[in-house]
Amino acid sequence: MSTLETAAHPERLCRVAIDPLSRVEGHGKVTLLTDRDHHIRQARLHIVEFRGFEKFIQGRPYWEVPVAVQRLCGICPVSHNLAAAKAVDQLVGAPEIPPTAEKIRRLMHYGQTLQSHAVHFFHLASPDFLFDFDDPTAHRNIGGVMADYPDIARQGVRLRKYGQEVIRVTAGKRIHGTGTVPGGVNKSLTVQERNYLLTDLDLLIQWGRNIVKLVKQAYALNPGYFTHFATIRTNYLSLIGADGALDLYHGGLRARNERGEILFDHLDYRRYSQVLREQVKPWSYMKFPFINSLGPEQGWYRVGPLARINNCDRIATPLAEEERREFMALGEGQPVHVTLAYHWARMIELLHAAEAIRELLLDPDIFGDELVARGEMTREGVGVIEAPRGTLFHHYRINEDGLIEKANLIVSTTNNNQAMNESIRQVAEHYLDGKELSEPLLNQIEVAVRAYDPCLSCATHALGKMPLIVELVEEESGAVVDCLVRDADGTFHSSY
Amino acid sequence: MSEELGFTLDGRRIPFQDGQTVMAAALAAGVYIPHLCFNPDFAPHGSCRVCLVKVNGRFQASCTTPAASGLTVQSETEELRNIRRGILQMLFVEGNHVCPACEKSGACQLQAVAYYVGMLNPHFSHFYPRRPVDASHAEAVIDFNRCILCELCVRASRDVDGKNIFAVQGRGIQAHLVVNTPSGKLGATHFSIHDKAAQVCPTGAILTKHQGYNVPIGQRLYDRKPINVVGDVAQLPESKGGRRHD
């Protein structure tokens, strides 16, 4: 871990804030503390939003939860909906749902992955690839992309629109639909809907191939920079299919260390709390998860496209598999640790999502009428899914009446919290240290954060778990006369 | 041959029979007057005030005003629309009506009437009352957050089901729905999901347990046509989206 997390004497340092972080989901900021010689002494990524979903769904009926918690996010609400739905499936005794229901959910999920990856790459991140760091800020955005590269911008908009249409057809609405029900889904597809979604899909797959090529070209133009920028050696965590293939909807947990060695594999995700823990730090609303056996110092990990491509043995769709092989060659037998390669991995997944949608649309099961399964009720359910931004955990416990008693959500961006902080510290150390800070230099910090595609609004769902210190200070002398501390477990004590 | 009885509603002649109210006659003639606590299966209540009209220049609840020959009734005026919108806004902020997560959304009379009167925001500050959900019953769940005190469940349980399970307790702003048992829990009653009281709620306050969102978006009762065309959810057969608990 970097030594830049906490400066020894912050009171003597100059504070520079990047607030708000631009072109990311949600609201966050980065603070840098520098000394007189412009050396960076502290770098932190802060999440400044405050949500509260874990708390306010307590006391609500369990069957309402998948629809309620998807309001965590407007970019990938399907992830929250499906993770919660999978947990609710266990509550209603139906961990296995009918094939039609699972395929409709997968279709919904791949549609979401496609649109979310498209919106991140084209709308948010593409200026980082297409323009220089010192490009004027007024131009370094989707507007600039539309002006200079209209074909790329148009493809981004069309790809996103298509993904949204897949969601609309399966969930009823493009955003915040209600397709899932306890134990299944509420509709299958009609032939007309299938035919509508097949229209132009081959063209979109071709665009997916083109965009992977574009990222590869950007990498080839400056391999030294790409390989080094914000790069950190980490562990990786993701779901993995039973056959070792990339699976975004269901599977067991697999973790690798930085050398690519398996730490645990095909672990039933209902046992996630045995292998993962969360650390709370006083300066952030976002928790810091880590692999329990390695401890908080060594056990933090990365999730998301880079982790998934590093973790899987293969991809089931041919074009994406071809790209995966080329991508993995970068690592020379080890995981690819290049942080900017998140974009590359993300576009491989976009291509995979488009291919997977085509396979599902050609599967007759999507027209089936067995939509729901039910069994013996249970009191606890854990749903895990690979959201566009990484592994997403939803864990619910209900009382005997079916009301939510306890909820624990570990969202994708939270998993990447330590890694994002380490990446900005790496950038601060290697690219900013000793230099007078300017907007283009600070932009490099944002480029590092943006590679992870963080969703900061999702990551701040917790309530009542953050440590809090309230100090009573005498007005004239400035002396602390009393201090009340709330610990991470919610207990209060006076520390004065 | 006697002359047909009638009054005018927004300039249109509405025939009526002796004993009918303005509301009943209007609905029989196919003219919609927005309402929430009115249900033709029960005696008029006049409590929600959403059906407010102007009768010969005076404000009256159309569900309790007897129809009479020669009346001039105004309903679809800007003035009345504004008043109704205000009433709906007050109903929304007084409870916790979270439509985005509510299973009844799309088939909710309160929501449909709000759309009908053009309510686009709550306008007033939310009360955010703390009202726990009662899920103690095996078949049904009561979400008091969504109760608008129309007393339809009270009337249905008392007058049709003969069980007298519900009551309204307190006065004024303190008024609230209660379950008539020492514990106050629905699970301690003989309530059945097949009771009339389970079928008359114009909001999502009384719902079937363990299920939700079974009707896809686009096929819900008010997804395609407004309430003045579709009618009240409690009055429709199951095949048309009503009476889901039969």
Please name each of the domains of chain B with its CATH number.
Answer: 6-76 (3.10.20.740), 81-211 (3.30.70.20)
CB A346 within 8 A of CB A155: no
Residues whose CB is less than 8 angstroms from the CB of residue A399 and which lie 6 or more positions away in sequence, other chains included? A379, A405
Across the interface, of B101, B132, B143, the residue whose CB is closest to A67 is: B101
Task: Calculate mean pLDDT across residues B139-150.
Answer: 97
CA distance B67 to B17: 8
3-class DSSP string for B139-151? CEEEEHHHCCCCC
Q: What is the pLDDT of residue A142?
A: 86
- Closest-CA distance of chain A to residue B67, Å: 44
- Residue A466: pLDDT above 50? no
Of the residues B130, B179, B215, B217, the best mutation for testing chain A's interface (the one with the most A CB atoms within 10 Å of its CB) is B217
CB A87 within 8 A of CB A404: no
Task: Calculate mean pLDDT across residues A63-72.
Answer: 94
- Closest-CA distance of chain A to residue B86, Å: 27
- Residue B145: pLDDT above 70? yes
Tell me, what DSSP letter sits at residue A122?
A: I
- Closest-CA distance of chain B to residue A142, Å: 31
Q: Is B25 helix (H, G, I), strand (E, B) or coil?
A: helix
- Closest-CA distance of chain A to residue B99, Å: 10
- Smallest CA-to-CA distance from A374 within A101, A69, A106 is with A101
Locate tokens 């929304």: which residue?
A: B92
Q: Is the dihedral of CA A249, A255, A257, A262 positive or negative?
A: negative
- Smallest CA-to-CA distance from B141 within B196, B186, B100, B109 is with B186
Between A23 and A488, the more confident residue is A23
Q: Cβ separation of A63 and B212 shorter than 8 Å? A: yes
CA distance A154 to A156: 5
**Backbone phi, psi, residue B181, to 5°:** -135, 160
Burial of B141 (0-12, 13-18, 19+ CB in 10 A): buried
Per-residue pLDDT tens over the stretch B24-41: 999 999 999 999 999 999
Given CATH 1.10.645.10, say whether it is the number of domain A53-421.
yes
Q: What is the DSSP string of A280-349?
A: --TT-SS-EEEEGGGHHHH--EE-SHHHHHHH-SB-SSHHHHHHHHHHHGGGTTS----TTHHHHHHHHH
Between A328 and A218, the more confident residue is A328
Mean pLDDT of chain A: 89
Q: How many CB pairs under 8 A join A and B?
A: 62
CA distance B174 to B197: 23
State the Cα angle at A282 between A279 and A287, rounded to 5°: 35
Of the residues B139, B213, B222, the best mutation for testing chain A's interface (the one with the most A CB atoms within 10 Å of its CB) is B213
- Residue A105: pLDDT above 80? yes
> Which sequence spans correspond to the domains of chain A?
53-421, 470-496
Task: Calculate mean pLDDT across residues B230-240.
Answer: 75
- CB contacts of B214 in chain A (<8 Å) are 181, 186
Between A135 and B204, the more confident residue is B204
- Residue A463: pLDDT above 50? no
Of A25-34, A177-186, A193-202, A325-334, least confident by mean pLDDT is A25-34
Q: Cβ separation of A60 and B133 shorter than 8 Å? A: yes
CA distance B119 to A388: 36
- CB contacts of A177 in chain B (<8 Å) are 217
Per-residue pLDDT tens over the stretch A12-50: 888 888 877 776 666 678 888 888 888 988 988 877 666
Task: Calculate mean pLDDT across residues A131-144.
Answer: 84
Give the number of other CB atoms < 10 A from CB of residue A36.
8
CA distance A455 to A142: 18
Q: Does the interface predicted TM-score (ipTM) exceed 0.90?
A: yes
Q: What is the pLDDT of residue A330?
A: 93
Is A405 at the interface with chain B, CB within 8 A? no
pLDDT-derived band at A478 (thresholds 50, 70, 90) equals low
Nearest residue on chain B to A175, alpha-carbon basis: B100
Task: Calculate mean pLDDT across residues A309-336.
Answer: 97
Q: What is the pLDDT of residue A432?
A: 84
- Residue B23: pLDDT above 50? yes
CA distance A431 to A422: 14
Q: Is the dihedral of CA B188, B189, B195, B198 positive or negative?
A: negative
